[in-house]
Structure 1
Amino acid sequence: MRKSLRLTKNLEFINVYKSGRRFTNPFFTMYAKKNELGYSRLGVSVSKKVGNSVVRNKIKRRIKEIFRINYDFIKDGWDIVFSVKPPAAKLDYGSIEREIITLLKRGRIYSDKKVYNFNDTVL
């Protein structure tokens, strides 16, 4: 995933936490906030309660990959942060994908039709 599609700074995370909408399920909490950039960005937060560094990084990699694969179905102009809860450590890739997409649909950020972004040019 390109670095421009990620939330990297602590202030960006805090901004989404404080003024974004929150959606939860037993495994994840999703915070979503409109941005003015014209493209969506992802942030992932995994606490030490979830597991050791290997487990935490594995979950982060999986969430980023799910976001990358489904990026064409995610509406433009959103900052999205997924906070991982400890039970998520036991999920496999398919279950994580199902739960993430369910949260995105609940937040009305995910569309079943591809959202074409004509600003992306491949060089």
Structure 2
Amino acid sequence: MPSARTSLGFSAADRLHRSAEFLALQRKGIRIQCPHFVLYAGPLPHDIERSRLGVTVSRRIGNAVVRNRLKRRVRECFRLALRQSIPAGTSLVVIARSGAGELASSMIFSELAAGVGKIAIRLGAERT
């Protein structure tokens, strides 16, 4: 039985690292727009069972403190709830839009949950 730490953890293997992975999802993945985020999702060829996350926050969002806080909050949403909402093996890229740095954690979660719900529906429709 896996412990809660391993199932809810977020290690380096759970992240997208290479720009080629980000670009592949942006070219071939599903795109969903939210008021403060753009989400791209789809399978990457070498990720069969692991869902991974990549977060992009540009300097337009705010200074380094604001950008890093936003990335931590997005990762926490993915770790706690969003990963279970998408099919296994689906990678997700979250791009922050202007105004995202001022959002409360609950608003970030609600926007991302709505977007991931749409992604899950579209991925389910494509696989059938």
**If the TM-score is normalised by the length of the shorter chain, which range does it land in?**
0.7 to 0.9
Q: Which runs of 5+ in 2 are unaligned?
A: 1-9, 122-128
Q: 1:108 to 1:74 in 2, by over 3 A?
A: closer
The Cα RMSD (Å) is 1.2
The reply to whether residue 56 of structure 1 matches residue 70 of structure 2 is no
SS of the counterpart of 1:107? helix
TM-superposition CA deviations, 1:69-110 (whole Å, max 9, x none): 11333320111000000111111000000000000001116x
Give the number of equivalent residue pairs: 109
SS of the counterpart of 1:37? coil
* Aligned residue runs from structure 1 range 1-123, under 5 A: 1-35=10-44, 36-70=47-81, 71-108=83-120
SS of the counterpart of 2:94? strand
Q: Which runs of 5+ in 1 are unaligned?
A: 110-123
In structure 1, what is the Cα distance between the partners aligned to 2:20 and 2:120?
A: 25
| Superposition TM-score, scaled by structure 1 size | 0.84
Where in structure 1 do 4 or more consecutive aligned residues deviate above 3 Å?
none
In structure 2, what is the Cα distance between the partners aligned to 1:27 and 1:73?
A: 20
In structure 2, what is the Cα distance between the partners aligned to 1:18 and 1:102?
A: 22
